[in-house]
């Protein structure tokens, strides 16, 4: 019985990295919000921040769930995509481009979170 408790109480490094990456993306959106002059753009950024925050909470609830090698590979793909997203958030001229980039990234996040939940 102790072995089960020990295994379940171990923090999953891959899920933790995803959680940290999502928090960083939320911060990048917050930084973009601080330099936005348009009310419509600000509203759109806040909506995207809410979407990212939801994934922060979901990944946080799965921090102690162990994953498979296939999921770990998928997690790494999401981590790689998160770097590209930072550039899109910082450099996109139109908020529409930011929203597209976030939506694509969150689609990858959702897939991996769903697989983790089903373990």
pLDDT exceeds 80 at position 5: no
> Is-contact 116 71, C-beta < 8 A?
yes
Residue ranges per structural domain of the chain: 2-117
Residue 106: is it exposed, middle or buried by C-beta count within 10 angstroms (0-12/13-18/19+)?
buried
Q: What is the pTM of this model?
A: 0.89
pLDDT at 4: 46
Q: How confident is the model at residue 115 (pLDDT cuts 50, 70, 90)?
A: very high
Q: What gap in Å lies between CA 72 and CA 76, rounded to an integer?
A: 6
């Amino acid at each position: 019985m102790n072995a089960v408790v020990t295994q379940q109480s171990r923090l999953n490094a891959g899920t933790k990295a995803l959680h940290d990456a999502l928090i960083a993306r939320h911060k990048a959106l917050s930084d973009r919000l601080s330099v936005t002059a348009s009310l419509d753009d600000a509203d759109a950024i806040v909506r995207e921040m809410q979407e990212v925050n939801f994934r922060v909470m979901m990944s946080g609830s799965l921090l102690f769930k162990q994953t498979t090698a296939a999921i770990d590979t998928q997690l790494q793909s999401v981590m790689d995509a998160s770097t590209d997203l930072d550039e899109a958030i910082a450099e996109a001229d139109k908020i529409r481009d930011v929203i597209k980039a976030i939506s694509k990234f969150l689609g990858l996040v959702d897939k991996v979170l769903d697989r983790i939940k089903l373990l």
